[in-house]
Amino acid sequence: MRLRSAATALLALTLSPFTLACQSVEHGPIPAPAIDLPLATSPGRATAVFAGGCFWGTQAVFERVKGVIATTAGYSGGSAKTAHYEDVTTETTDHAESVEVVYDPSRLTYGQLLRVFFTIHDPTTLNRQGNDEGTSYRSAIFYANDDQKRIAETYITQLDVAHAWKHKIVTQVVPLKAFYRAEDYHQDYALKNPNQPYVVVCDRPKIATLKADYPDLYVEYKGH
């Protein structure tokens, strides 16, 4: 895939210590949101869209969260005309590699999703995750309604005050204008290519972090 970045791919092949830069930071579980919506009283479907670097790893984590119904790797922030990987990699489209998460709000809250999101990537690095650099790798929350906006912004303030990260969070909180599904070969990429060097170094540790930090939210995923 670019292959994520040529530098990362080369480093992954040697498992150099520098590749640790694309792994989730070893800080353990972060505080739960102080403000959240209660669980719905009946099953349903709600949608959240997050961007936290390469969408392979982000999707690999969220599809293993209990209460998630479906995930889709794609693009948000730009136009339909440029919602193609070849265009997005030029870093001129305003798109971020994103993941759409469809979940059951009677089993999982938006705040719980945010907690997972902030745990599995570094929200303090502007327009990059590890060796992957560019606006398409930015940290962003694309909110679908006022509740999502309020919970996300309040949670970021809470984490900053608690010094959950050494540096200030730079995650964008912006309205969701559209989400565009990425090419088929990107869907479930980490599941289908578990031994690909980038997946081994950057994505499988994210899954391990979810399982270790939030075992009550973790479920096995074998694909649909």
Q: Which DSSP state fits 144?
A: S
Active-site choice (54, 108, 159, 202): 54
CA distances from 102 to 68, 71, 128, 134, 158 (A): 6, 6, 25, 27, 25
Among left, alpha and beta (phi > 0; psi -120 to 50; other), residue 141 is beta
Give kind and range of the element (H or E) at residue 74. Answer: strand 68-76
* Structure tokens, 36: 């959240």
Residue type at 28 in one-letter notation: G
* Structure tokens, 32: 């739960």
Residues forming beta bridges with residue 180, ordered by sequence position:
75
Task: Compute CA 54 distance to the chain's CA centroid, rounded to the nearest angstrom.
Answer: 8
Please count the residues of the chain. 224
**Exposure of 200 in the CB half-sphere (CA atoms within 13 A):** 11
Whether 22 is catalytic is no
What is the C-alpha to C-alpha distance for residues 10 and 69, in angstroms, rounded to an integer?
35
Q: Which residues are catalytic?
A: 54
